[in-house]
A and B are shown apart, each in its own frame.
Chain A
Amino acid sequence: MEGKALSLRALSVLRPGEGGIVSVVASHHLAPKLVEMGLFPGKEVKVLFRAPFGGPMAVEIGGGYTLSLREDEAMLVLLDPENF
């Protein structure tokens, strides 16, 4: 388990084209909202593109729809890149 936790990556550091499976959503007042919008553990996500100048990123969720979130919002979502 410990080894796995170490290999998690925050969604915010991914480059366009990279993806993973949501593993944990960090505890934060925004967390319920993130989960409701589909970022629950087990969901596959992929970064589509990023806005210029360090703006928000567009993330494809499970092949169905696209969310846009700011970097500090994406930081709350930890992915398991191995299982992708």
Chain B
Amino acid sequence: MGEKRNIALAGNPNTGKSSLFNLLTGLNQHVGNFPGVTVDKRTGECRLGPGHAAGVLDLPGTYSIFPRSADERIVWEVLGNAAHPDHPQLVVVAADASNLERNLLLFTQLHDLGLPLILALTMPDMALERGSMVDVQALSFHLGVPVVVVNGRTGEGLDDLKSLLMSDIPAPRAFRFCVTDLLTLADQPEAQIRDTEWRYSRIREILRKCQVRKDSNQDTASLRSRLDRFFVHPVWGYLVFVGLLMLIFQLIFRFAEYPMEWIEGAFLALSRLAADYLPAGVFTDLLSEGVIPGIGGVVIFIPQIALLFFILSILEESGYMARVVFIMDKLVRPFGLNGKSVVPLVSSVACAIPGIMSTRTIPSWKDRLITILVAPLMSCSARLPVFMLMIRLVVPDGNLWGFFDLRGAVLFAMYALGVISAIAVAWVFGKIIRTGEQGFLLMELPAYQLPRLRYVFLHVREKAGVFVTDAGKVILAISIVLWVLASYGPPGQMNRALESMKQAHPEWSPDSPEYKEALAAVRLEHSFIGIIGRGIEPVIQPLGYDWKIGIALITSFAAREVFVGSMATIYSVGEDFEEGLVERLRDERYPDSGQPVYTLASGLSLMVFYVYAMQCMSTLAIVRRETRSWKWPLVQLLYMGVLAYAGAWITFVTFS
């Protein structure tokens, strides 16, 4: 076999296709215990043995070849059209062994399309537990294709699958499950129903001949129903959901504080080290005042972001998310959302981009569009650094009603503001956007599973790594530009300002701390960035911000995670790195009035601004791709901008 074979993984949702993909390719495709985790195709390469490699394609899950949502359409496009560039030479159908009947429906459809097939029975552990494992040899005989058993979690049986992938699998031509030509049924619902019913009767016939024994295990069934009674209870269900969310913010605050302090200390020491030991000069200044604080500004938030991803990942892997959809459907429908909108919204707490992608599982276009439009209002992990910095700066450390950490409660309030606004905005869009089409919920509730910590850790490491490298690159570039702009200015103006400072205070010797401090302030004020900042100050003054915040707002226009890094750079120019950023910000005062810049009012106002403002180019690009028009990203940019300015202004006025 000279040329590389292309193999596709297809099957019902949540059967372990992506788990198999990861095992085969060594990649780290997202896996979760929820139907519809994968919403796009992804390719990888699998080394089968010496000289043997194959291209592997992971597909979204689908119950039938006829698509009912955007993610399922991808399967139809790739497998239903032999001319598609990704059309495979071989399809591995992943079928949940504990639930074969329904899983085999798609198998029979792909069989009748004439695709060479291998049937991979996944979740053998679950099938054994339920006492419903099938006779593999008999199944292979009756279906006319090779059948392997693979555990997607442990990798048991993977070698059997790999050796099958190397052998020649002919296209099944001997018989068909149904006489009609599938491709002609695409838009004939009545004929589809008849076809499907016929297929099911054939599948039942075959399974009757292959089923070994069937006795369900009462223990797990009763544990499951007890868990369900709790998670979908009219009172407990919602309390658990809200309680979980509150717990997350408390955890983020309590546990992440220590590593944050260590990281901050380490970066300060690094800056000092660079300033002390490297030869004095422009490059050293750039490094110690620009690059190191800028990078440190993001790295310090890794513990929180990792913790956030960790908790979300656990929720996803356990099967709890589907229950949240279940209890929220009725509540969110009046607001123009679907129960299925809840998962994209919750995952937008990590990042809006995967959140918006995952709206593909929402069948109605209107429900989906509204979910896309409000998803960026959910506070993503890139806002977390801004919230954390401001909270540490302006919110006193203390308790609320004796047991809630006050700072954790303010953080929770910011997230709650995002959620409430998302719901309100969804309601407004629901009134504006009118289509006759009716959405539906119809969804599988997966069984509960214990999350695999190893996978969860891998996932968290990858996500945190991506955050740091992606944000790091931008921040590195911006901190260099910022440092240059903050360190140089038009020479004439700078010199005049320095002269007038010296004349105002002739008593200061050039070595005194007052002199040094005033010198740094004057230089920054008359640098290029100071001049730009002064220019925009009138616009942001009503919100309670000074020009330095204005600069950080501008630099974070395309990516909000840049804010803290920019602040760190701006406040590091001319510094001696004795104290952390929070202390430096706390000392910051308006030169004319002597009032502190960062007060409860201006801090809260800044946080509210970040709750609303659409400062993320990547999100706009994804919205443009998913909605296929520039109209919706522009609508989003506009409405979020208006909310940000108005919200911040109201907050500032209320608290000052």
Contacts and interface: CB of A to CB of B under 8 A. Distances in A.
Q: Do A and B bind each other?
A: yes
Interface of A: 25, 27, 29-38, 40-42, 48-49, 51-56, 58, 61-70, 73
A37 B440 contact: no
Interface string B146-178: 000000000000000000000000000000000
Central interface residue in B66, B99, B233, B238, by most chain A CB within 10 Å = B99
24 contacts: A30-B442, A31-B193, A35-B196, A35-B200, A36-B63, A36-B66, A36-B196, A48-B228, A49-B225, A49-B228, A51-B232, A51-B330, A52-B234, A58-B232, A58-B326, A63-B216, A64-B99, A65-B444, A65-B445, A67-B444, A68-B442, A68-B444, A70-B440, A73-B441
Contacts of B192: 32
B197 A36 contact: no
Interface string B172-208: 0000000000000000011011001100110000000
Listed from nearest, the 5 A-B pairs whose CB atoms lie closest are A55-B330, A52-B234, A66-B445, A64-B99, A36-B64
A54 B99 CA distance: 29
Nearest to B437: A29
Contact of A56 (B105, B196, B197, B329): B329
Contacts of A49: 225, 228-229, 232
A33 B438 CA distance: 14
A29 B197 contact: no
B144 interface: no
Nearest to B194: A35
Contacts of A62: 101
A3 B21 CA distance: 53
Interface in B425-471: 440-445, 447
Interface string B283-325: 0000000000000000000000000000000000000001001
B68 interface: yes
Contacts of A70: 329, 440-442
Contact of A48 (B98, B189, B197, B225): B225
A66 B233 contact: no
Contacts of B99: 64-65
Interface string B321-339: 0100111011100000001
Contacts, number: 112
A55 B64 contact: no
Classify chain B: how many residues form its interface, as a range.
35 or more
Contacts of A73: 440-442
Interface in B51-88: 63-64, 66, 68
Contacts of B339: 56
The B interface is mostly helix, strand or loop, or mixed, namely: helix
B538 to A, nearest CB: 50
Contacts of A35: 193, 196-197, 200
Contacts of A56: 326, 329-330, 339, 441
Contacts of B238: 52
A55 B442 contact: no
B330 A32 contact: no
Given A36-B64, A65-B102, 18 more contacts: A27-B190, A31-B189, A32-B64, A35-B196, A36-B66, A37-B63, A38-B102, A40-B196, A42-B201, A48-B225, A51-B232, A56-B339, A58-B326, A67-B444, A67-B445, A68-B322, A68-B326, A68-B444
A69 B441 contact: yes
Contacts of A41: 197
A64 B189 contact: no
Contacts of A40: 196-197, 200
Nearest to A59: B445
Contact of B330 (A25, A38, A53, A67): A53
Contacts of B641: none
Interface of B: 63-64, 66, 68, 98-99, 101-102, 105, 132, 189-190, 192-193, 196-197, 200-201, 216, 225, 228-229, 232-234, 237-238, 322, 325-327, 329-331, 339, 440-445, 447
| Residue of A53, A54, A55, A58 ringed by the most chain B CB atoms within 10 A | A55
Specify which of A27, A32, A36, A73 lies most central, judged by the most chain B CB atoms within 10 Å of its CB.
A36
Nearest to A39: B442
A68 B189 CA distance: 22
B475 to A, nearest CB: 43
B189 A32 contact: yes
B105 to A, nearest CB: 6
Most buried by A among B189, B237, B442, B443: B442
Contacts of B228: 48-49, 58
A2 to B, nearest CB: 23
A61 B200 CA distance: 14
A69 B228 CA distance: 16
B209 to A, nearest CB: 18
B326 A64 contact: no
B340 to A, nearest CB: 10
A34 B68 CA distance: 11
Nearest to A58: B445
Q: Which interface residue of A27, A33, A48 has the most chain B CB atoms within 10 A?
A: A33
Given A32-B189, A48-B225, A49-B228, A55 B329 contact: yes
B230 to A, nearest CB: 11
A54 B329 CA distance: 10
B440 A52 contact: no
A78 B339 CA distance: 24
B234 A53 contact: yes
B242 to A, nearest CB: 14
Nearest to B443: A68
B380 to A, nearest CB: 28
B442 A67 contact: yes
A61 to B, nearest CB: 8
A53 B329 CA distance: 10
Contacts of A68: 322, 325-326, 441-445
Contacts of A54: 330
Interface centre among B237, B238, B327, B440 (most CB of A within 10 A): B440
A56 to B, nearest CB: 5
Given A36-B105, A37-B63, A37-B102, A51 B329 contact: yes
B102 A64 contact: yes
Nearest to A71: B330
A27 B191 CA distance: 12
